[in-house]
């Protein structure tokens, strides 16, 4: 089986590693250079999307912000999963909000902003505080503005107006600010026959808008059922095939969708060591129409992102349950360079190992890890 991945980053890399034991061959299409590359070696395998599609049994994607012409070409092939509609919804907050409304899934109240009258209407109807998010190309906290006080409205509109003027395709989604207790995400998969399987909810901690730590948190059956019902509603509405991630705000035990990601997701990396079948293999199983694997947590696990660092102390490998995953990238401030997975037999052992890991990592390079360690009992 041959799978072509749109995007040649770390997610394609990890799909390649997961696919090899299943005899699934992965190639990656770099949308910027029009090159086909090997996801692990980055060896150039040729140029031209049409030839790559013709050679593949299945086409899928590792990110949402794909040129519309590329999406259309892949969709026309009849091989593209999860499909053009899903990828567009993941890359455009306007479409995403409409999808959630159509699926009957709760999210923050919102208003679309294109001109100053829309901006003022959002303030009047939704109230303050508000979060303004770019409809396109927003990720890791980029393309966002917060408005807490009426007297700051003119300055915020000036910034948003300049942003909109720079791109005629852009728009802004104004959302009510949600005073949530924590952010959680659900990673799951849907097969073409409608079969759905989901992993345990994951609690996430962000630093400056970028994911820092993800912790698998099984046990809250009420929240898990809520999340699974919302996941299934969205996946069925899209007739989705593959792995889908949904980020939620937990507001006093009620979940509101923050955003969806129609792909494997950073907050699901712990599944590589914490589940029988990791999210990367699960995605390949789904798009290749193979039976979905077991999603149960087999041992308590968490993931720590490595951001902007190309080295970590070698001593961390002496900690039982540590697995280090590098992405083979050149160093750049804030860039996702790799991640550390940590597992243990129980939560108390996981906490002890996490404390040991924290003691070996630079607090400047890995801030606020202790906050998540304190969540472990």
* Domain tally, the chain: 3
What DSSP assignment string belongs to 132-143? EEESBS--TT-S
- 35 touches 47 (CB < 8 A): yes
Here the CATH number for the domain that contains residue 147 is 3.30.1490.20
The Cα-based distances of 275 to 128, 212, 294, 377 in angstroms read 42, 20, 7, 21
> Is the residue at 85 inside a domain?
no
> Is the residue at 88 inside a domain?
no
> Is the residue at 94 inside a domain?
no
> Is the residue at 90 inside a domain?
no
Largest CA distance in the chain: 61
Name the CA dihedral angle for 243, 191, 101, 200, rounded to a multiple of 10 degrees: -50
- Residues 151, 234 within the same domain: no
- Residues 113, 9 within the same domain: no
- 215 touches 81 (CB < 8 A): no
- Residues 68, 129 within the same domain: no
Per-residue pLDDT tens, the chain, 377 aa: give them: 999 999 999 999 999 999 999 999 999 999 999 999 999 999 999 999 999 999 999 999 999 999 999 999 999 999 999 999 999 999 999 999 999 999 999 999 999 999 999 999 999 999 999 999 999 976 656 789 999 999 999 999 999 999 999 999 999 999 999 999 999 999 999 999 999 999 999 999 999 889 999 999 988 999 999 999 999 999 999 999 999 999 999 999 999 999 999 999 999 999 999 999 999 999 999 999 999 999 999 999 999 999 999 999 999 999 999 999 999 999 999 999 999 999 999 999 999 999 999 999 999 999 999 999 998 97
> Is the residue at 98 inside a domain?
no
* Phi, psi angle pair for 306, to nearest 5°: -105, 110
* Phi, psi angle pair for 138, to nearest 5°: -100, 125
Residues making up the chain, counted from first to last = 377
Residue written as token pair 């720590």: 304
Both structure tokens of 135: 């409809």
The Cα-based distances of 37 to 16, 313, 335 in angstroms read 12, 31, 21
- Residues 247, 324 within the same domain: yes
Q: Where are the alpha helices (H) located in the chain, listed in sequence order?
A: 10-19, 49-55, 68-76, 84-91, 93-103, 116-126, 153-165, 221-238, 271-274, 279-287, 347-360, 369-373
- Residues 343, 295 within the same domain: yes
CA 135 to chain centre: 16
Specify the DSSP class assigned to residue 266.
G
- Residues 163, 210 within the same domain: no
pLDDT tens per residue across span 97-123: 999 999 999 999 999 999 999 999 999
- Residues 57, 192 within the same domain: no
Here the CATH number for the domain that contains residue 216 is 3.30.470.20
- Residues 219, 335 within the same domain: yes
- 256 touches 108 (CB < 8 A): yes
CA distance 291 to 133: 38
- Residues 193, 252 within the same domain: yes
pLDDT tens per residue across span 10-54: 999 999 999 999 999 999 999 999 999 999 999 999 999 999 999
Last residue within a domain, chosen from 136, 152, 176: 176
What DSSP assignment string belongs to 295-325? -SBSS-EEEEEEES-S---GGGGGSTTEEEE
Q: What is the pTM of this model?
A: 0.96
Both structure tokens of 52: 């790559």
Both structure tokens of 116: 């100053």
pLDDT tens per residue across span 46-58: 999 999 999 999 9
Residue 317: CB atoms within 10 A of its CB come to: 11
- Residues 262, 154 within the same domain: no
- Residues 244, 191 within the same domain: yes
> Is the residue at 102 inside a domain?
no
Give the residue numbers spanning the domain of 122: 109-176
- Residues 246, 366 within the same domain: yes
């Amino acid at each position: 089986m041959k799978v072509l991945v749109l995007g040649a980053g770390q997610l394609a890399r990890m799909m390649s590693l997961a696919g090899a034991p299943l005899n699934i061959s992965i190639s990656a299409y770099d949308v910027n250079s029009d090159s086909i590359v090997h996801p692990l070696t980055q060896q150039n395998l040729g140029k031209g999307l049409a030839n790559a599609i013709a050679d593949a049994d299945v086409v899928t994607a590792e990110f949402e912000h794909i040129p519309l012409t590329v999406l259309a070409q892949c969709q026309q092939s009849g091989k593209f999963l999860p499909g053009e509609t899903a990828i567009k919804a993941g890359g455009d907050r306007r479409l995403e909000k409409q999808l959630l409304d159509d699926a009957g899934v709760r999210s923050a109240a919102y208003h679309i902003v294109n001109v100053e009258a829309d901006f003022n209407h959002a303030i009047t109807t939704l109230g303050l505080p508000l979060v303004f998010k770019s409809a396109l190309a927003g990720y890791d906290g980029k393309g966002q503005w917060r408005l807490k006080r009426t007297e700051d409205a003119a300055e915020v509109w000036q910034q948003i107006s300049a942003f909109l003027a720079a791109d005629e395709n852009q728009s802004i989604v104004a959302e009510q600010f949600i005073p949530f207790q924590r952010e959680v995400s659900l990673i799951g998969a849907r097969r073409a026959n409608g079969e759905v399987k989901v992993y345990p909810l994951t609690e996430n901690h962000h630093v400056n808008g970028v994911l820092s730590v993800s912790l698998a948190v099984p046990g809250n059956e009420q929240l898990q059922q809520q999340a699974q019902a919302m996941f299934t509603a969205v996946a069925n509405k899209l007739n989705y095939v593959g792995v889908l991630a949904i980020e939620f705000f937990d507001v006093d035990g009620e979940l509101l969708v923050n955003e969806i990601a129609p792909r494997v997701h950073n907050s699901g990396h712990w599944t590589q060591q914490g589940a029988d079948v990791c999210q990367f293999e699960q995605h390949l199983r789904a798009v290749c129409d193979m039976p979905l694997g077991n999603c149960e947590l087999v041992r308590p696990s968490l993931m720590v992102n490595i951001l902007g660092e190309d080295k970590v102390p070698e001593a961390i490998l002496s900690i039982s349950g540590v697995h280090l995953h590098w992405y083979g990238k050149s160093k750049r401030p804030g860039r996702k360079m790799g991640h550390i997975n940590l597992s243990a037999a129980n939560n108390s052992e996981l906490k002890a190992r996490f404390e040991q890991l924290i003691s070996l990592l630079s607090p400047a390079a890995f801030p606020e890890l202790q906050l998540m360690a304190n969540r472990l009992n």
